[in-house]
Chain A
């Protein structure tokens, strides 16, 4: 195998209210890291001029849909790619309007880090609470609070400290203490402290936004749990050469699995040992987190899609019911008695809503214990009964094996995300 340059990939979710300058910030990062190609840059220059701006409107680099350009807002999650010598970055540009909470949860669900934007003139507002709440709910380990538009408050240290103090009060309400929070004063429009250090903030001794991201240790920002191997697909070639080959294809979650490990197959609870780990025609000793591999076992065990291999001394919960925090994403309400498909990794089971316990205000303003149903963008504690057991961990212990999506049995749409409590 050829030597590949070792590079890391960091997924970042962004959150900010309308006009906080989120798209501008991303455009600025792209511009200052020289990630914008000349034809894209020309298009931005041309359109900025047409609109009569005396600056470059970087938001044009990311707002991809016609409606978004017309209204000057971001509607849907867009993915933006850039890389430096150190890391590859994927930014999920998520909209900041109240009605688009579902997009924020979606963008954050695959991210290890988040940037929350605050307009220095407005400070911490209700929306900021929501953005922080969602990053908490999804247990994003690294949060950068970018206090933007510092140029419009004369780069005032006092104003920066005021906002920081307000945000720190908000931090007292979170239930996820491992989260690391960093503040940076920036001007996305003018480029201060985004990629390059600003001369306008001599009082700020910290890193620029990009410097901070560059310095993050990817292993440290990941939420490590115990190994879980859901069987995705069974490979049985039945060719002469590989007549008895029975490989279990899937992705390793949480921890690592090695040849010789004693494993238990769920739900049958049959024991065996890992014989080989393949990627294509190569054998490996160890498969670490997020690797897509094919595993063969010492014994002939019948496993099919949705079954799971785990280490013998480390079983997940095996239950036909659970309670979870639900982020609801559909216009049709969720209520007790409704049936949905729970997709837990690659496993699908039928589920019935047992009880809506209470709705949680996503701005830390409390709970509504009287709530009977959930509307679009609501977040609540809900318990479910399943038609067969699933093998799960609590979300706080296992980000992948503790999460699921809800699918509407009629529309087939993904209507909610769940985090097992």
Chain B
């Protein structure tokens, strides 16, 4: 990589952009992970948040390579665009990618596939994730969760200790003071690390725009066969989302704000075909990002319950 020399004296850090401050914080956190843990891994979903994490990790360790592998817990219900994107990114950056499949956990009888109209593999990911953590003896899992996403996540630490069962004891969390991160754990415990805890959805999008980071095409407005349910727009392509016969398929101009499991990720109507338009749309948006995630709507405390069980 070529070293660019800036002609003008440039100051970095304080009093530069707000996103710069967040970037500095995230880089600091990623370096703490590399320094404090023996076997960290970056959980990669192919979504914008984990793509952002990869860029931050590149920056944190340049000119050395990112000193940990990526791992994707594949529900088998991913958008094909996301998988293609994932494989290309990993190849371009010369990173190591580990994939573990929810389908295998189902085949092994460890989890049972849900059925019916709201069936989803989203919560099944937890078992596959915990098995993979044990298989590779990972002591730190870096994730792209943000505190602004959901109110239980608002209480999450940057270094969040999980017990042998991957459980989150939300009432007994380690206090996190100053910017000092305590990564000391016992054998069997592991730490979930959230370097972009303090970023908002708009921050992530602004960063992607500023940095010119490439993201999967489903984040941009495109024509898609869809149907309506509970006031939300679902993809009728690929046959992943359960659809009743009386639910009419119609082509709509949509995009996705998150790219989780297809069965629980609804689309939004949009004509944002470029990154500039996406940023503008998010800035003006009156619906929260996870408003299109049916997994959070199961109950008021849906996220908290899943987190206690080891979900990300």
Which residues in A have some Cβ–Cβ distance to B below 8 Å?
A: 1-2, 4-9, 37-40, 47, 61-67, 69, 75-81, 83, 88, 90, 102-103, 105-106, 109-110, 218-219, 222, 232-233, 235-237, 239, 241-242, 245, 247, 249-252, 256, 278-294, 305, 329, 341, 343, 345-346, 400, 403-405, 407, 412-414, 417
Q: A9-B18, A251-B179 are in contact. List 4 more A-B contacts (CB 8 A).
A: A9-B22, A281-B1, A292-B24, A413-B182
Report yes or no: B14 in contact with A291, Cβ–Cβ below 8 A.
yes
5 inter-chain pairs at a CB distance below 8 angstroms, sorted by A residue, are A4-B19, A37-B286, A109-B177, A278-B62, A285-B10
Closest to A304 in B: B35
**For residues 11 through 29 of chain B, which have their beta carbon under 8 Å from a beta carbon of chain A?**
11-25, 27-28
Chain A residues closer than 8 Å to B5, beta-carbon distance: 283
B252 on interface, CB distance cutoff 8 Å: no
Given contacts A4-B19, A305-B35, contact A284 B173 (CB under 8 A): no
What residues of chain B lie closer than 8 Å to A284, measured between beta carbons? 6, 10-12
Assembled-state Cα–Cα distance A256/B12 (Å): 10
CB of B151 closer than 8 Å to a CB of A: yes
Q: Assess whether A237 is in contact with B64, with CB atoms less than 8 Å apart.
A: yes
Selected contact of B175 from candidates A67, A236, A239, A414, CB within 8 Å: A414
* Residue from A62, A65, A245 whose CB has the most chain B CB atoms within 10 Å: A65
Chain B min CB distance to A159 (Å): 34
Interface 9-residue window, one of B53-61, B71-79, B242-250: B53-61
Judge whether A81 and B200 touch: CB under 8 Å. yes
Assess the A65–B14 pair: CB atoms within 8 A.
no
Q: Assess the B13–A414 pair: CB atoms within 8 A.
A: no
Q: Are B178 and A110 in contact (CB under 8 A)?
A: yes
**B206 to A, closest residue via Cβ:** A4
Q: Which residues of B contact A4 (CB under 8 A)?
A: 16-20, 206, 210
- Measured in the bound complex, the distance between the Cα atoms of B12 and A278 in whole Å is 10
B184 near A407 with CB under 8 A, answer yes
Identity of the chain A residue whose Cβ is nearest the Cβ of B58 in the assembled complex = A280
In this assembly, does B271 line the interface, its C-beta being within 8 Å of a C-beta of chain A?
A: no
Most buried by A among B152, B154, B291, B300: B154
Contacting pair B3 A256 (CB below 8 A): no
A235 — nearest CB in chain B belongs to which residue?
A: B64
The interface residues of chain A, by DSSP majority, are classed as mixed
- The chain B residue sitting closest to A236, CB to CB, is B64
B212 / chain A contacts, CB cutoff of 8 Å: 2
B6, B22, B64 — most chain A CB neighbours (10 Å): B64
B203 to chain A, nearest CB (A): 8
In the complex formed, the residue of A with least CB distance to B185 is A412
- Of B182, B198, B209, B285, which is within 8 A of A343 by CB? B182
Q: Are A6 and B16 in contact (CB under 8 A)?
A: yes
Question: Residues of B contacting A110 with CB < 8 Å?
Answer: 177-179
B97 lies within 8 A of chain A by Cβ: no
Give Cα A417 to B174, complex, Å. 12
Counting CB contacts under 8 A, is B223 at the interface?
A: no
B32 touches A232 (CB 8 A): yes
A2 to B276, CA, bound (A): 13
Q: A256 touching B11 by the CB < 8 A rule?
A: yes
How many angstroms from the CA of A404 to the CA of B177 in the assembled complex? 9
How far is the CB of B76 from the nearest CB of chain A, in Å? 29
Contacts of B58 in A (CB 8 A): 280
Whole-angstrom CA separation of A151 from B124 in the bound complex: 50
A412 in complex: contacting residue of B23, B177, B184, B202, CB < 8 Å: B184
Closest partner residue, chain A, to B4 (CB atom): A282
Within the complex, which residue of B4, B12, B209 is in contact with A281, where a contact is CB–CB below 8 Å? B4
B18/A106 in contact, CB under 8 A: no
- In the docked arrangement, what's the CA distance between A252 and B61, Å? 17
- Complex partner residue of A283 from B3, B174, B285, CB under 8 angstroms: B3
CB of B9 within 8 A of CB of A286, answer yes
CB of B91 within 8 Å of the partner chain? no
* Closest beta carbon of chain A to B293's beta carbon, Å: 11
Is B113 in the interface zone, CB < 8 Å from A?
no
- Chain B, 167-182, CB within 8 A of any chain A CB: 170-171, 173-180, 182
Docked complex Cα distance between A343 and B183 (Å)? 11
Q: Given contacts A106-B176, A329-B175, are A65 and B170 in contact (CB under 8 A)?
A: yes
User: Which of A1, A294, A400 has its CB near the most chain B CB atoms (within 10 A)?
Assistant: A294
Min Cβ gap A314→B in Å is 18
Query: Is A288's CB under 8 angstroms from B14's CB?
Result: yes
B183 to chain A, nearest CB (A): 9
Q: Considering only CB atoms, which chain B residue lies closest to A343 in the complex?
A: B180
The residue in chain A whose Cβ has the minimal distance to the Cβ of B156 is A79
Please tell me if B304 contacts chain A, counting CB pairs below 8 Å: yes
Q: Are A251 and B19 in contact (CB under 8 A)?
A: no
- 138-184 of chain B: CB within 8 A of chain A: 147-148, 150-155, 170-171, 173-180, 182, 184
State the 7 A-B residue pairs at the shortest beta-carbon distance, nearest first: A291-B13, A64-B151, A4-B17, A288-B13, A7-B18, A237-B64, A412-B184
- Cα A232 to Cα B180 with chains together (Å): 11
Say whether A67 contacts B11, CB under 8 Å. Answer: no
Contact A88 B13 (CB under 8 A): no
| A290 with B175: CB separation less than 8 A | no
Are A287 and B6 in contact, CB atoms less than 8 angstroms apart? no
In the complex, what residues of A have CB within 8 A of residue B2's CB?
Answer: 281
Query: Does B119 sit at the interface, judged by CB under 8 A?
Result: no
Query: Does B34 sit within 8 A of A, measured CB to CB?
Result: yes
Report the minimal beta-carbon distance from B33 to chain A, rounded to whole angstroms.
10
